[in-house]
Amino acid sequence: MKRKRRVKIIATLGPSTSTPEQLERLVVAGADVFRINMSHSSHDDMRTYIAALRDLESKYGPIAILADLQGPKLRISSIAEGSIQLERGQTIIFDANHTPGTIDRVGLLHPEIYAAAEPGHTLLIDDGKLHMRVLDARPGRIVAEAITGGVLSSRKGVNLPDAILPLASMTPKDRLDCEAALEAGVDWIAISFVQRVHDVRDVRAIVGDRAAIMAKIERRSAIAEIDEILRESDGVMVARGDLGVEMPLEQVPGLQKQLLRAGRDLGKPVVVATQMLESMTSSPVPTRAEVSDVATAVFEGADAVMLSAESATGAYPVEAVATMDRVAREVEKDVNYESILHFRGTPSDKTAADAISAAAASIAETLKLKAIFCYTATGKTGLRVARQRPAQPIVVLTPVIETARRLNLVWGLHCVQTSDPANTGEMVRGAEEVARASGYADDGDRVLVCAGVPFKRPGSTNMLRIFTIGEDSGKPH
């Protein structure tokens, strides 16, 4: 399916989008990637989603599927009356007692928190609605003072932003979910609550090359190792919900911009997520602020923007995807889009493949070519060209369906599964066939192809060829 935009749209699946008919409507409306939230999806649900999406590929082309692991969820225990009212300045004890909480004490059954907490640390509860300061911390017991008052309800989430918690990168549930997702054939595995680069390495040891790995940046501690995390992962997600709890809210927009730039410099896709069109869970139209939020991410060159509850449980999932599609297309037509996108420029690594990819974008712009075609097995050529953010469409031709699916999350890439060419003649003819079928170029249009010679040897991108559709395919090569 030919898209009229370059940023990709991720739709989260759930009760509102659980049937094959609903999934197809999302694809038609503009969804390129489908996220399965393992916090709320059973393995049977996941397999049903994947089977339906793979059926749609015969009609619409490669579709990327992302399994989002739940990660370690830290919560207080139950409260006897369901909730209590904390006043500002009030002290309360958190302990390892399993009995229901009272106005004086509440259960917190996570030894990792007691091991990491120190006096003066901040304790945030219920997405930061309750702000507590640790006065005393010892094994199995924390005394904290309420900096802000409010209602404390059963099972609310807990954040300790000032410390690195001694938590494993994957819980037992995550390991089971990850293996099930890999066996079912997902394309991306998202790791929640990444704290250190070792978290990514631990997951890599399990996943191997069976899927790409996306690190979700939602912990303050991850920012300190962000360069290493970016290098070890295949992509990152700016998960602004928890990040906005861990960090002061006013710092999140700047961090979003930094992560987008750092990811692009390294050729790693960056997803912007959380509350992008939140009001559309119950309204057929978004707020003006939400539209501006989506537009900002597109202007900044995000690879993908994501819908969560809007498409999973909302009343208007298809409308939410269609709205995001319209906003993205309008931004990409804006007279300021290209200048903002290329304000910094993109550094290139000093390798032949990177030089070729940078040259492809430069030549296509100088000669006003119609499209760029990339032959690739591993996907690295497509990633390198996309990093340059050329004005021309980038069509990825690959014999590996897994590569086509994974790259469908990346900015500007239109992915097609095709056979590997045996020579330059087949290379040109294959690009021509896809150009006509996809509608990205037609007879008389000049296009550029980048590939590796000798063919069928991954990682050897070293050739550019410019040719005219309909004129060069019959010539000897």
Q: Return the domain boundaries, the chain.
A: 8-71+169-336, 83-159, 352-468
C-alpha span between 397 and 385 (Å, rounded)? 13
pLDDT of residue 475: 56
Task: Please state, in angstroms and as integers, the Cα–Cα distance from residue 173 to each residue in 228, 346, 355, 458, following that order.
Answer: 26, 40, 44, 36
Fold of 83-159: M1 Pyruvate Kinase; Domain 3 (2.40.33)
- Catalytic: 12? no
pLDDT band per the 50, 70, 90 thresholds, residue 169: confident
The 8-class DSSP code of residue 105 comes to E
pLDDT of residue 453: 76
Q: Which two tokens stand for residue 86?
A: 């904390």
- 199 with 220: CB under 8 angstroms? no
pLDDT of residue 459: 61
For domain 352-468, which CATH number applies: 3.40.1380.20, 3.40.50.150, 3.20.20.140, 3.10.310.30?
A: 3.40.1380.20
> CA dihedral defined by 223, 229, 234, 238, rounded to 10 degrees?
-10
Instruction: Lowest mean pLDDT of 107-121, 173-187, 337-351, 360-374, name the range.
Output: 337-351
- CATH homologous superfamily of 8-71+169-336: Phosphoenolpyruvate-binding domains (3.20.20.60)
List alpha helices for 36-82, DSSP H: 43-60
pLDDT in tens, 412-466: 999 999 988 888 889 999 999 999 998 999 999 999 999 887 776 666 678 899 9
> CA dihedral defined by 227, 228, 233, 239, rounded to 10 degrees?
-50
From the candidates 3, 47, 75, 326, give the one annotated as an active-site residue: 75
- Catalytic: 446? no
pLDDT in tens, 18-57: 999 999 999 999 999 999 999 999 999 999 999 999 999 9
pLDDT of residue 344: 79
From the candidates 6, 8, 35, 219, give the one annotated as an active-site residue: 35
Whether the pLDDT of residue 15 is over 70: the answer is yes
pLDDT of residue 143: 98
- Catalytic: 4? no
Residue type, 226: I
- Catalytic: 105? no
pLDDT of residue 353: 80
pLDDT of residue 476: 45
pLDDT of residue 167: 87
From the candidates 216, 219, 240, 380, give the one annotated as an active-site residue: 216
Task: Give the residue-averaged pLDDT of 218-236.
Answer: 95
pLDDT of residue 416: 95
Spatial neighbors of 282 by CB under 8 A, at least 6 apart, are 314, 315
Q: Which two tokens stand for residue 393?
A: 């469409």
pLDDT in tens, 269-323: 999 999 999 999 999 999 999 999 999 999 999 999 999 999 999 999 999 999 9
pLDDT band per the 50, 70, 90 thresholds, residue 133: very high
- Map residue 303 onto helix, strand or coil: coil
pLDDT of residue 168: 80
Q: What's the burial of 386, exposed, middle or buried (CB within 10 Å: 0-12/13-18/19+)?
A: buried
| Highest mean pLDDT, choosing among 147-151, 159-163, 405-409 | 405-409
| Highest mean pLDDT, choosing among 326-335, 454-463, 465-474 | 326-335
Report long-range pairs for 462-467 (Cβ below 8 Å, ≥24 apart): 462/352, 462/353, 462/356, 463/356, 464/356, 464/359, 464/360, 464/363, 465/424, 465/427, 465/428, 466/363, 466/367, 466/369, 467/428
pLDDT in tens, 75-131: 999 999 999 999 999 999 999 999 999 999 999 999 999 999 999 999 999 988 999
Please report the DSSP string for 419-472 in residue order.
Answer: PPPSSHHHHHHHHHHHHHHHTS--TT-EEEEEEESSTT-TT-EEEEEEEETTTS
| Proportion of the chain above pLDDT 70, given as a percent | 97
C-alpha span between 456 and 426 (Å, rounded)? 13
C-alpha span between 141 and 167 (Å, rounded)? 18
146 versus 457: the higher-pLDDT residue is 146
Sequence length of the chain is 477
From the candidates 17, 122, 274, 281, give the one annotated as an active-site residue: 274
- Look up the pTM and report it: 0.93
Whether the pLDDT of residue 346 is over 90: the answer is no
Whether the pLDDT of residue 324 is over 50: the answer is yes
**What residues form DSSP beta bridges with 443?**
none
